[in-house]
Chain A
Amino acid sequence: MRDIQKLKEIAVTLRKDIIKMLTESASGHPGGSLSAVEILTALYFSEMRVDPNNPRWEDRDRFVLCKGHAAPVLYAALAEKGFFDKSHLMTLRKLGSILQGHPNMNDTPGVDMSTGSLGQGLSVANGMALAAKLDNKDYRVYALLGDGEIEEGQVWEAAMTAAHYKLDNLTAFLDHNGLQIDGQVTEVMNVEPVDEKFKAFGWHVIVIDGHNFEEIFKAIDEAKSVKGKPTMIIANTVKGKGVSFMENAVGWHGTAPSKEQCEEALAELGGENNA
């Protein structure tokens, strides 16, 4: 399904779910969840071969949320897709919840890997891609990294491994929103030029607008056609996208909205069922 209009609607729903669940949990990370909404929407509602009724299906495509703090966007997508009942979203970060503060594969149906400690996910995605090659399976592995996250050395170890083992069944996205916790990525610890770096590490690199579905799909298709190399899709995004007072605001990395801010955000996002 590449019904862009429909996907845009789903994106609005996910954004609203993210705001609602974070307001209810009163803690968590809105900024980096909102910047990745289109990427996850494209993956879960069009691209990835997954079965909500069989979350551990062996031949499914895999997704590793390397930037695990963006758990709300993953949970919202999985719930919308039907992996679990939407009522769980309001239990985020609460005692006994299937929705932990950072993703845990053994608690949440549909989560393919436990993450939260930045810098570890790409190695795991590599392992999944290697397993597919060993078993001659055609499932693909997707990973989403933060632009602050790639300051971790392990990311570059993994970048070498993916290229060395020619993991062309691996497509990674870089959520290039320019912000991390302490400020702008270029000021905290500059990672630029990210495109040149991944190219130099042996990756096929595509730069896109990470909120534009046409560009996301074009990049995904291109990645699938590339042989002998992993692909890094550098998605230029806006942290906090869709909620004007959160956009590009460093303070909204890890702060939950108040009830009033929640209502303001939901009104701005519009769409249906504003309950």
Chain B
Amino acid sequence: MPNLATREAYGKALVELGKENRNVVVLDADLSKSTKTADFAKVFPERFFNIGIAEADLMGTAAGLATCGKIPFASTFAVFATGRAFEQIRNSICYPNLNVKIAATHAGITVGEDGASHQSIEDISLMRTIPNMTVIVPCDDVETMAAIKAAAEYVGPVYIRLGRSSVPTINDEYTYKFEIGKAVKLREGKDVTIFATGIMVSEALKAYEMLKEKGFEAEVINIHTIKPIDAKAIVESVAKTGCAVTCEEHNIIGGLGSAVCEVLAENKPAPVVRVGVKDTFGQSGKPAELMKHYGLTAENIVEAALKAMSKK
């Protein structure tokens, strides 16, 4: 399987979009080499705006461009985009329902060595609570390309969460169909449903194989859109399996786990075990070491699945 970071795919997608649509403009806050918006800046310098290290202004400028028919993609690291500029996103983008796409990279603990100050584990929670906002977390390069294109076609604010580190390609470049708000069933099973988002999707697939060896059939569903969440897919699957595990590279508070619990509590109460960062800050280290340290591996998912099944 090829390995590519979702931010790399974002850079490529932007260049393609730029060729197709002259209204696509890109803004960054002095991180264009890391967020990969530099790829776009190289090809379309007149449509790229470096706003400097000023995330609040980044969001406001994007909002202004959107009022005039532009499709701005605003990028910086997830922690700064959603933390520093939260209220600008709320009041200058989402309240007026402006067509701004916030593509934030370096989300989660796999930022690695930079440590906790740069590891966003709250962004899904922050973004999904704002009315009018759509929240997408792609799992690989193929899904990222598709999600960026879908976001550009969709009219309204979208938050796209991207990662720094390489992840395995799960989806087929030629056959994969992405639809905002539509979950993707990757494996069929009857014993437990594993809902995963972002880079945890590939871990969930590994967990599926490990559970199979133990005699369990897990269903694996990729929830790439956290909002609007595919409640139907969640309820239908858990109606069959009777329990669920959620997997995200994010705090277990407020993200995918919470979103799935909200849907199930109101429609199909069932045991849920959440795999994620357990309400603690990250630290410096290699991405793989951190995933292990914070309990975000396939082994942790297997453990959670066994626990969920035991509660049925």
Contacts and interface: CB of A to CB of B under 8 A. Distances in A.
Interface string A158-176: 1011001100000000000
Summarize A's interface: helix, strand, loop or mixed: helix
B91 A154 contact: no
Interface string B121-146: 00000000000000000000000000
A124 B61 contact: yes
Interface residues of B, number: 29
Contacts of A112: 67
Which of B46, B49, B96 counts the most A-chain CB atoms under 10 A from its CB?
A: B96
A105 B91 CA distance: 12
Contacts of A165: 49
A270 interface: no
Contacts of A116: 91
Interface stretch (A8-16, A129-137, A242-250): A129-137
Contacts of A180: none
B45 interface: no
Nearest to B59: A123
B56 A127 contact: no
Contacts of B95: 104, 114
A161 B69 contact: no
B51 interface: yes
A120 B91 contact: yes
A219 B146 CA distance: 50
B228 interface: no
Nearest to A164: B52
B64 A123 contact: yes
Contacts of B61: 123-124, 126-127, 130, 158, 161
B57 A131 contact: no
Contact of B60 (A106, A129, A154, A164): A154
A196 interface: no
A95 to B, nearest CB: 18
Contact of A123 (B57, B66, B87, B97): B57
Interface string B68-112: 111010000000000000011001100111000000000000000
A153 interface: yes
Contact of B54 (A62, A130, A132, A160): A160
Which of B54, B60, B69, B96 counts the most A-chain CB atoms under 10 A from its CB?
A: B60
Chain A interface residue bracket vs B: 35 or more
A106 B156 CA distance: 13
A128 interface: yes
Contacts of B96: 104-106, 113-114
B190 interface: no
Nearest to B64: A127
Given A58-B69, A154-B56, A160-B54, A113 B91 contact: no
Contacts of B68: 58, 127-128, 131-132, 135
Which of A112, A122, A124 counts the most B-chain CB atoms under 10 A from its CB?
A: A124
Contacts of B69: 58, 131
Contact of A134 (B46, B59, B87): B46
A150 to B, nearest CB: 14
B64 A120 contact: no
A117 interface: yes
Contacts of B62: 127
A150 B62 CA distance: 20
B57 A125 contact: no
12 contacts: A114-B91, A117-B91, A119-B56, A123-B56, A123-B57, A123-B92, A125-B64, A127-B60, A129-B64, A131-B65, A134-B46, A160-B52
Closest 9 A/B residue pairs (Cβ): A127-B64, A123-B60, A131-B68, A157-B57, A157-B54, A124-B64, A114-B96, A127-B65, A154-B56
